[in-house]
Structure 1
Amino acid sequence: MLLENKTALVTGGGRGIGRGITEQFLAEGANVVVVQRRNLDEELANHPRVAHISADLGDLKQLPAVIEGTVTHFGGVDILVNNSGVMWERSIADITPDEWDQMANVNMRAPVFLIQAALPHLQQHGGSIINIGSIEGMAANPEHVLYVTSKAGIHGMTRALAVDLGELGVRCNAIAPGWISSELSEQYIDSLSPDGSARDDLNRLHPVGRVGTPADIGGAAVYLASQRASFVTGQVLVVDGGRTARLPMPV
C-alpha cells in the first residue's frame, strides 16, 4: 500500500472532495485525521484509522491545537491536505470587505498558518503538502472574483512553498479540480432541465465524457502524497477530464 504507516491530516475530509481524499488515503493504508466542525458520519467515526478534530479553521488560535491533536492521536503528521474552502457568487459592485475577509481567511490564510504549525512534524520524515486549488485559479466563471482570486493565490502559494521547503525535505503541490459531482451540484444540474439535457451538455464539455468524482481527486492526492511523486513539487495538477484543454467550437 502506498501510504501504509503514514498519517494524513485532511481539512474538510468528511464530505465532498475531502471525503474522496480520505477514502482513498484509507484504502492505501494511511491514518487520517479529519478536521471540520461537522461531526463525522457513522462509517468514518467508527473507522479504526480515522480521528476527528472539530475546529474553526478561520480562527488562527485553534490551528496549533489541530496539529497537536493529530500528533496525539497517531504520533505525527506526514501529509497535510488543505481542502476546506468557501465559495459564493458576487459581482465586483456588490462585494463587501467582510465577504472578502471571510473568503481570504478560510481559503488562503488558514492553509498558510496550518502549514506553519505542521512544519516541524512534516520535515521530520519528508512530508507532503497538498493544497486543493481549482481550475478557477486559471480561468473564471461569472461573478466569481473572490473565489478565483483565492484559488489563484493557493496556486501561487504552492509554488512559493515548494521553493522554500525543498531543502527541508518537504514537498508542496496543488490539485486543481474541475467539475466534481456532489449532492449540491447534482441538484443544480437536475434543476436546469428535467429532461436531462443540461447533464448531457455538461458531460460533452469533458473529453472523457463525464464529470469528475471525489474519488478522482482522491486518486491524484494519493499519488502526490506517496513516494512515487518524490521528485514532484511546486506543481498544480489539473484534474478536470480535459475540460480546460478543449477549445470551444462555434455553435
Structure 2
Amino acid sequence: MNPKLPADLNERVVIVTGAGTGIGRATARAFANPGANVLAVGRRIDALEETATGHPSIAVHSADLSAPETAEGVIATAVERWGQLDVLVNNAGVFRMMPLADTDPAAVTALFDLHVLAPTLLAHAALPHLRRSKGTIVNISSTYGHKAAPNAAHYAASKAAIEHLTRSWAVELAAEGIRVNAVAPGPTESEALAAAGLPDAAIEQAKKAEAALIPLGRRGEPEEVAEWVVRLSDPATTWLTGQILTVDGGLELV
C-alpha cells in the first residue's frame, strides 16, 4: 500500500474513465492500492487489461464514451458487480490542436461530446447511486481550462466547460452530501500528443518547450496527478467541494 494515499477507501467502488493509459491508468491503480474496487473504462481492451495487470480489484469495461447511450451501461456494470458506487472519475479525454483558421466542425463537436456531454451523462446515470453512498465526483480538467491556449482554443473551451460544471454541480448537489471537485493537470507524460497525430520529432519539441515554460522545470508524471484525484475522493475530505485543484508545476502562474 502506498503510505501517501488514504487508507479508508477499502471496499469503495470507483469508476475511472480513460483508464487505459496515462493519468487514467495511474488513477485506477492508485485507488486499487488502498483496497478500492475499480471499474477501469476505456476504448481499448488491451490497454485496460494492462492497467489491471497485478491489481485484482480492477475490472475492465470497454466502451466508447462519445456515444450517448454508453453512460447507463458503464454505471450499471459497476453497480451490478459490486452493489454500489462511491466515486466517479471523469478522466476520458483527447488533446486536439485546432487553430481557428483550421476549424473543423466535426472535431469541435467530438471534443465537446467527450469532455462535456459524456461526463454529464455519466454523472446523471450515477446520481441515484451517489445519493445513496454520499459519494463524490472528480472531473479531470486541464491548466488550459483556465489559461489561454492559442491554437487549441476548442480543447481549452471544453475543459473550461467541465470546470464550470464542477462548480455548478457542487452547489446543486451539496445538500445531498455529494461532493464535486476537479483536478486540472498541466503537461503530463502520456500518449496524448501522439494520439493528437503529432510526429515523433514534433512531440519531443513540444515536450521540451512545455518543460521550459513550467516553473518547476519539468512535465508531470501521471502518478503525481492521480494522488490528488484519490485525495479529493477520500471520504475523510468532508468539507471540500467545488474546487479546481491545478497540478501543473506552476504553469498556470506564468
Task: State the one-letter code of the partner of 2:118.
Answer: A
Identify the match of residue 36 of structure 1 among 38, 42, 52: 42
CA distance in 2, matches of 1:146, 1:204: 24
Residue 4 of structure 2 corresponds to: none
Letter in 2 for 1:6: R
Please state if 1:80 is matched with 2:69: no
- The alignment yields a C-alpha RMSD, in angstroms, of 2.4
1:13-44, Cα deviation, whole Å (9 max, x unpaired): 12111011111111122111011121123461
TM-score, with length taken from structure 1 = 0.89
Task: Please state whether the residue corresponding to 2:38 is helix, strand or coil.
Answer: strand
Change over 3 Å in CA distance of 1:90–1:123 after alignment to 2: same
Which of 97, 101, 107 does residue 109 from structure 2 map onto?
Answer: 101
- C-alpha separation between the residues in 1 aligned to 2:50 and 2:200? 28
What amino acid maps onto 1:229 in structure 2?
T
Question: Which has the higher Rg, Structure 1 or Structure 2?
Answer: 1
Q: Structure 1 regions of 5+ residues with no counterpart?
A: none
- Deviating runs (4+, > 4 A) in structure 1? 183-190
Say if 2:32 and 2:55, in contact at 8 Å, map to a contact too: no
Structure 1 partner of 2:151:
143
Shift of 1:182: 2.0
Q: Is the 8 A contact 1:51 1:73 kept in 2?
A: no
Q: What amino acid is aligned across from residue 64 of structure 1 in structure 2?
A: E
5+ residue gaps, structure 2, are 1-6
Q: Return the alpha-carbon distance in structure 1 between the equivalents of residues 120 and 66 of structure 2.
A: 11
Q: Counterparts of 1:214-225 in structure 2 under 5 Å?
A: 214-225=222-233
1:191 and 2:201 matched: yes
Please say if residues 187 and 210 of structure 2, whose CA atoms lie closer than 8 Å, have aligned partners that are also in contact. no
Q: Is structure 2 residue 236 aligned with structure 1 residue 234?
A: no
CA change 1:5–1:102 in 2 (3 A) is same
Cα distance change on mapping 1:84 and 1:32 into 2, 3 Å = same
Most deviating of 169-178 and 54-63:
54-63
3-state DSSP class of the match of 1:103? helix
Secondary structure of the corresponding residue to residue 131 of structure 1: strand
- Distance in 1 (CA, whole Å) between partners of 2:147 and 2:53 is 37
**Distance of aligned partners of 1:21 and 1:43 in 2 relative to their CA distance in 1, 3 Å threshold:** closer
Match of 2:170 among 151, 162, 168: 162
Trace 1:167-182 onto structure 2 (pairs within 5 A). 167-182=175-190
- What SS class does the counterpart of residue 41 from structure 1 fall into? helix
How many pairs align? 244
Work out the percentage of aligned pairs sharing the same amino acid.
38
Q: CA deviation at 1:184?
A: 5.6
